[in-house]
Structure 1
Amino acid sequence: MRSIKFNIIVLLTILSLTTFAQTKVVSNSYSFGIILKIEKFAGRDFRYSLELKSTDTDSLKNIVIKVQQVINDDEWLDVNLAKDVTKDTVWHSLKISSKINPRAKEIWLYANFEGNGNFFVDNLKFEIKTESGDWEKFPIKNADFENNENNPLKDFRTNANIPDGSTIGLRNRTDSIGGKALLIKTTKASVIFKTNYGANKRIGKYCNINGIKIYYETYGTGEPLLLLHGNGQSIVDFNKQIPELARYYRVIAVDTRAQGKSIDNDSSKLSYDIFASDMKALLDSLNLKKVNVLGWSDGGNTGLIMAIKYPDYVGKLVVMGANLNPTENAVEKSMLNQLKKDLKKLQQKQDTESKQMTRLLLMLSTEPNINVEDLHTISAKTLVLAGEKDVIKAEHTRLIASNISGSQLIIFKKQTHMVPNENPLLFNETVLNFLKQEDVKN
C-alpha cells in the first residue's frame, strides 16, 4: 500500500494544469522521500529543509518539497507544500515549518524535481523543537548524501524508474561547505498530456441499476474487455493498464458499487454477488455478452462469481489476487488482523465516507464464500494470477486454478498483490498474451 500512496502523492504534487479530459504534466518528474515515525513528538513544532542549487534551468523547471502527516495508510492529515521559485544558481534553502498533528503517527517527506537542468541537493533536515526551545535534528540515514556512491538514494523511497534522459549521482561541492551533494541531471523533459482515467468527463457515463448509479468509461475498439478493480479502489487504479489494453480491445472500466464515482446512497449490506449482478445489468444495458473480464483482488472475486452465475456473459477470464473465502487458509494473517483493526476504527465514525468504507470492509472480512465445487462449472477460458509476495497465499491461488478446468496459472516471482501498479509492463504483457491466444477447436 505505501508504495502506491507514495506515487499518488507524487502525482498530486506534480500536476500543473487540468483540462476537460486530460492533465498537463512534465514528462521527467522525479521524486524521492522518506517516512519518519513521529508519534511521540505529537504537538511539537517541526521544520523540514533542503539545500538546493540548480543550473541550466528552463521554463519547465519546478522544485517542490512536501510534508504529509499520516495516521495510517488510509488516513492522511495535514499537508504542507513549498515551491522553489528562485532562479539562483547558488546554494540556498527551501523550508517548511509547521506543527505535528496530535493524531499523526508518521510524517512523509518528499522532494520532487522536473524540467531540464542539473539539480543539486544536500543536507536534508527534519528538526523538532524541544521543550527547552532548542531544535533537535531527527536522525535520517545519509541525509547529507555523503555515502552510497553507486546508489545515493538507497535509503529513500523513489520513483519506480529513473526518467529517460535522467541520471542520479553524487558530486563534490565547490563552495566553502565542501563534501558531496546529490545531483539529479535531466535532459529530455517535455510537456505531455495524460488522460484522466476515472475522471474523464468527456466519455464517463452512468448506468442506473435500481437506483444505484454505476459509473464507467469506455476506451478503444474491438472485443469488449471489462475491468473490475479492488476494494476501495476505482478506475484510476487501472491507469497503467487502460492505455495498453485499449490498443487491442474495447475496454469498459467500471467503478463498482459504493466506490469511485459510482453513486450509492444505500446502507444495505454489500456482496460480491451484488457486484456480479450489477455487472450483468451494465452489460445488458450495453447489449453485450461473452465479454472478456479482468478482475484484480475484489474484482477477481466478482469475476469468478460472474463466470459461475452468468456463464453466457464471460468470454475469457483473468483474475489477479482473487480468493474464495477470507480465512487464514487463503489470506495472510497479518492482512486479516489489519482488516479487523481498520474496521473497528471505522465503525466508531459516523461520517458518510467512513460508513461507506465500513460496508466495503465488512464485505471484505466476511466474503466471498465460493465453494470449490462451483469452480468446476466455470466454462470460460481462465488465467489465474497472483504475486509470489501476495497477501493471497500461493497455495490458495493454486487451489483456485486447479479447480477450473483448463485454466492457466502464473505466480509472478518477487511481485506483490499490487503488481498491476508496481510492474505494469509485466502484468500487461501477461494479460495480453493470454487474451490473444486462439481458442482451441474440438
Structure 2
Amino acid sequence: MSHVTAADGTRIWYDALGEGDPLLLLNGQSLDHEMWDGVRSGLARGHRVVRVDFRGTGGSDAPLGEPYDLELFAGDALAVLDALEIPRAHVYGFSMGGKVAQAFADSAPDRLGALVLGSTGPGGDNEVERPASSTLALRRANTAAGRDAIAELFYSRAWASDHPDTVTRVLPRGPLRAQRLHFAASTGYDGWELLPRIQAPTLVVHGEDDDLTPVGNAALLAERIPGARLLVLPGMRHGYLHEDEPKATREVLDFLAGHPL
C-alpha cells in the first residue's frame, strides 16, 4: 500500500495485487478499499488489481472545506495510475464508483480499456429513483436501525446473517462531514449526456432485486452506451458482487478476457 499526492495536495491511498492487465476498482459511496475484500483475490487471477480510497475515506486524506464531485474522484484515480506508471487500465466501478467510472471514461478515454459498471445508474433526472426508504437508510447509516436497513438493501437476510464482516465493510465510514460530501457528490451527478460518448467495451452488471439502485437503471445504461452488454443477476440485491461470488467475478473476468489491453 502507498499514497500519491493529488494536484491539490490531498494524499490518496492505493494498493495493487497480482499481475497482468491492470484493473482499477472504484468504491461505492463513503466506502473504502475493504469493500472489495472477498472479491479482489478472484479478480487478481490474471490482472494487476488496483484499489483506491477516494478522498474522505479509508487511508486517504479527508479535506472538508470544499464540495466533492465525481470528476474530482476520477482525477484522484488517474493520479494513482500515474504513480504506478499504468498508461491504460480496465475499470470496474461499483455503485457510486460506477458513476466515477463514467466520468473517468469521458475525461480520459485514452486511459481506459474495458469498463464494468456494477449496481449503478446514470444520475440526474433520467435515473430511476430509489424508494424513499432506501434514501432514508443511507442518511441514517450510522445508527443501528440504519445499519440493519443497509444490510437488507445489499444482501438477503440469511446471507447477511452468515456474513457479518462483509456487512460491516459496506457500511459508510469516515468523518460524518466527508460522508455528507460523498452523498452530495453522488446525488448531484448527471452522466446522461456523456454516456453515448463512451467508446470502451462496457459490461453493465446489476442485481434483479436491487432497491438501492433500481435495476431499471442498468437497462438505461446498456441502452445509452454504444454496444454495452447487460447482465442482470436473478434474486440479487445491491451487493451482488459478494453474495453471488464467484459467479459475478467469473462473468467479469470472462468479459475482460475478451477485451485485452
Shorter-chain TM band: 0.7 to 0.9
- 1:268-279 map, 5 Å: 268-279=66-77
Q: 1:438 to 1:224 in 2, by over 3 A?
A: closer
Contact 1:270 1:360 in 2 (8 A): yes
Structure 2 residue ranges without an equivalent (≥5): 143-173
Contact 1:323 1:368 in 2 (8 A): no
- 1:60-79 map, 5 Å: none
Which of 178, 184, 189 aligns to 1:362? It is: 184
CA distance in 2, matches of 1:265, 1:368: 20
Tell me, yes or no, if structure 1 residue 313 matches structure 2 residue 111. yes
Q: Name the counterpart of 2:2.
A: 205
Contact 2:52 2:80 in 1 (8 A): no
CA distance in 2, matches of 1:239, 1:340: 24
Q: Name the counterpart of 1:7.
A: none
CA distance in 1, matches of 2:87, 2:105: 12
1:288: how far off?
Answer: 1.8
Instruction: Give the alignment's TM-score, normalised by structure 2.
Output: 0.81
Tell me, yes or no, if structure 1 residue 396 matches structure 2 residue 229. no
1:227: how far off?
Answer: 0.7
Instruction: Give the alignment's TM-score, normalised by structure 1.
Output: 0.49
Helix, strand or coil for the counterpart of 2:74? helix
Q: Name the counterpart of 2:245.
A: 424
Q: Name the counterpart of 2:258.
A: 437
CA distance in 2, matches of 1:428, 1:341: 30
What residue identity is the alignment partner of 1:324? P
Bigger shift: 390-399 or 294-303?
390-399
- 1:18-417 map, 5 Å: 204-209=1-6, 210-325=8-123, 329-333=127-131, 334-339=133-138, 353-364=175-186, 366-371=187-192, 373-390=193-210, 391-417=212-238
Q: 1:331 to 1:260 in 2, by over 3 A?
A: farther
**What does the per-residue CA deviation read over 1:369-411, in whole Å, with 9 as the maximum and x for residues that have no partner?**
112x311111111001110011222222101111111111001
Structure 1 residue ranges without an equivalent (≥5): 1-203, 344-351
1:361: how far off?
Answer: 2.1
What residue identity is the alignment partner of 1:258? G
Q: Sequence identity of aligned pairs in percent?
A: 28
1:327: how far off?
Answer: 5.7
CA distance in 2, matches of 1:211, 1:318: 29
What residue identity is the alignment partner of 1:218? A
What residue identity is the alignment partner of 2:78? K
What residue identity is the alignment partner of 2:10? I
CA distance in 2, matches of 1:431, 1:326: 27
Helix, strand or coil for the counterpart of 2:235? coil
What residue identity is the alignment partner of 1:306? F
Helix, strand or coil for the counterpart of 1:218? strand
Helix, strand or coil for the counterpart of 2:14? strand
CA distance in 2, matches of 1:393, 1:263: 32
CA distance in 2, matches of 1:396, 1:300: 12
Which stretches of structure 1, 4 residues or longer, exceed 6 Å deviation after superposition?
none
1:342: how far off?
Answer: 6.2
CA distance in 2, matches of 1:340, 1:240: 26
Q: Name the counterpart of 2:147.
A: none
CA distance in 1, matches of 2:126, 2:111: 32
CA distance in 1, matches of 2:113, 2:259: 12
CA distance in 1, matches of 2:119, 2:189: 13
Name which one, 1 or 2, has greater alpha-carbon Rg.
1
Helix, strand or coil for the counterpart of 2:134? helix
1:284: how far off?
Answer: 2.1
Q: 1:434 to 1:228 in 2, by over 3 A?
A: same
The structure with the largest strand share of the pair is 1
CA distance in 2, matches of 1:377, 1:342: 35
CA distance in 2, matches of 1:224, 1:342: 33
CA distance in 2, matches of 1:357, 1:337: 14
Q: 1:363 to 1:342 in 2, by over 3 A?
A: farther
1:230: how far off?
Answer: 0.5
Helix, strand or coil for the counterpart of 1:233? coil
1:341: how far off?
Answer: 5.7
CA distance in 2, matches of 1:219, 1:384: 24
What residue identity is the alignment partner of 2:31? Q
